[in-house]
Structure 1
Amino acid sequence: MITINKPSKDIQLKSPLPNNIMVSGEAMAGKTTFVGDFPTPFFLSFDGNAVKEGRDGVDLHDSMSWREVIDVIPQIKSAGYKTIVIDTIEDLLDGIEKEITNGGTIADMSNSFTGWSNLNGHFKKIILEVVKSDLTAVFIARTTTDADGEIQSDARAKNFSWLKGRIDGEIYIIKDGHKPEWRAHRGYWKKEELPPHLANVADPEREGQERKAAALARREALLNKKTGDKN
């Protein structure tokens, strides 16, 4: 039963710490290596690379069943893992497409509408099960930079946009130097509040705002000093 309370007199907004995170970047930028420092990660490796590196996980690049992926999520939690990693969302989408087309493509199906509907439905079910698992959830995404300097995902725009609506923030790994930085996040936290695996992620937007605020404060102090000297 839904209960409606009276309007709050004093609303205290909260900024929950990020728990569902997208880690994006170009190929070979170091996305998997960065996520390897998250608390006890288990990789659902749809490209097979994480397992080849010796990380805990399952190699799903040759064959997968979307139902089996959903069924294994509670087992990952009960085994003691703290982080579940989808690596990568592009390869997850490719795996779903191969499964529903028996190794082909949706474009070759006689009823492509049904194919796309199944792909979108299976993708959403997997993502929602990962998000509600109470584990830290990481979605690795391969991206490229276009001629205008805009970052574009290798995944279908529709699926990528839907996923971004269910995350707390996106960390972009800069290929030169493998430096992680926040591209976007829902809340604002003090650096000391963040867990160790996120504490060293740069935040260009916040850092820019802090520099601007400091510069304005220095300007205000200087103007006040000049006014005081005249008096």
Structure 2
Amino acid sequence: MTIRLSQYKEVHLKTPAPKSIAVYGEPMAGKTTFAGKTDKPLFLSFDHNAKNAGYNAVIPETHQDVVDYIEQAPGAGYKTIIIDTAEDMANQFELEVLKNHNATSLKAAGDYGAGFGEFNKMFSNVIDALTQSPLTVYYLLRANNDDEEGLVIVLKPKLFNIIGGYSDALIEINNKHEAKWKKKRYDWDDSQLPAPLNDILDPEKEKQAKLKKLGLEK
């Protein structure tokens, strides 16, 4: 097959709307309620909380269930798909691998690290399916409160890095149910964003506003 490169054209940069958003907070901080304000959401409710609360939610039992739900969601009228929570999904995939190999640990599941490879493939396949989906994606993540570091995400760093690499924003929700931006890929106009992203605290903008008021802006 012969490939052909198109001619160079002038670049006009765009600011795409958020496609994938990671949201973290302690248990009962309001992550599910926050995500429930999105446009026509479907919860993949691994912890059952969204299902029990009455949201449109399904409880996947296998990795294949997760992939099938992601593929079917656009045709069923959903606009947003929510992983609730990412660590519960990871735990379920690990248990699935252990069951497949009748093993007690990923290290013991198969030869030469096969269990780890199978688990990583499951997790990556789901992230890839979500990335390819036309729906907006929310990843909900639990966090623990550390006196020195503040809120620390529970999901293993390697797995969080996979999610973070495909996310356009990272949002923290505190125990007062306040959501604030921690990281953003673009400097969006909040008033132009859909709910619930149009009502999030932005510490950096608040800081600049205070400096401006004092005549100390950069």
Return closer, same or farther for 1:166/1:12 CA change in 2, 3 Å cut-off.
same
Partner of 2:145: 145
Return closer, same or farther for 1:166/1:156 CA change in 2, 3 Å cut-off.
same
- What is the DSSP-based 3-state SS (H/G/I as helix, E as strand, rest coil) of the residue aligned with 2:81? strand
Count of paired positions: 213
Partner of 1:191: 190
1:75-224 alignment runs, 5 A limit: 75-102=72-99, 104-109=104-109, 111=111, 113-175=113-175, 177-216=176-215
Per-residue Cα deviation, 1:105-141 (whole angstroms, up to 9, x for no partner): 3244364721111111110110111121111111100
TM superposition shift of 1:150: 4.1
- What is the DSSP-based 3-state SS (H/G/I as helix, E as strand, rest coil) of the residue aligned with 2:137? strand
- What is the DSSP-based 3-state SS (H/G/I as helix, E as strand, rest coil) of the residue aligned with 1:196? coil
- What is the DSSP-based 3-state SS (H/G/I as helix, E as strand, rest coil) of the residue aligned with 1:129? helix
Range with greater deviation from structure 2 (18-27 or 95-104): 95-104
The aligned amino acid for 2:177 is H
TM-score by length of 1: 0.84
Which consecutive unaligned segments of at least 5 residues does structure 1 have? 221-231
TM-score by length of 2: 0.89
Q: State the alpha-carbon separation in 1 of the partners of residues 90 and 170 from structure 2.
A: 19
Q: State the alpha-carbon separation in 1 of the partners of residues 209 and 157 from structure 2.
A: 33
Q: State the alpha-carbon separation in 2 of the partners of residues 101 and 209 from structure 1.
A: 51
- What is the DSSP-based 3-state SS (H/G/I as helix, E as strand, rest coil) of the residue aligned with 1:51? helix
Q: State the alpha-carbon separation in 1 of the partners of residues 147 and 86 from structure 2.
A: 24
Partner of 1:72: 69
The answer (yes or no) to whether the contact 1:15–1:186 under 8 Å persists in 2 is no
TM superposition shift of 1:149: 2.1
Q: State the alpha-carbon separation in 1 of the partners of residues 157 and 150 from structure 2.
A: 14
Larger radius of gyration: 1
Return closer, same or farther for 1:211/1:133 CA change in 2, 3 Å cut-off.
same
Q: State the alpha-carbon separation in 2 of the partners of residues 32 and 50 from structure 1.
A: 7
Partner of 2:16: 16
Q: State the alpha-carbon separation in 1 of the partners of residues 38 and 53 from structure 2.
A: 16
The answer (yes or no) to whether the contact 2:98–2:109 under 8 Å persists in 1 is yes
Segments of 4+ in structure 1 off by > 6 A?
none
Q: State the alpha-carbon separation in 2 of the partners of residues 44 and 206 from structure 1.
A: 33
RMSD of equivalent CA atoms: 2.1
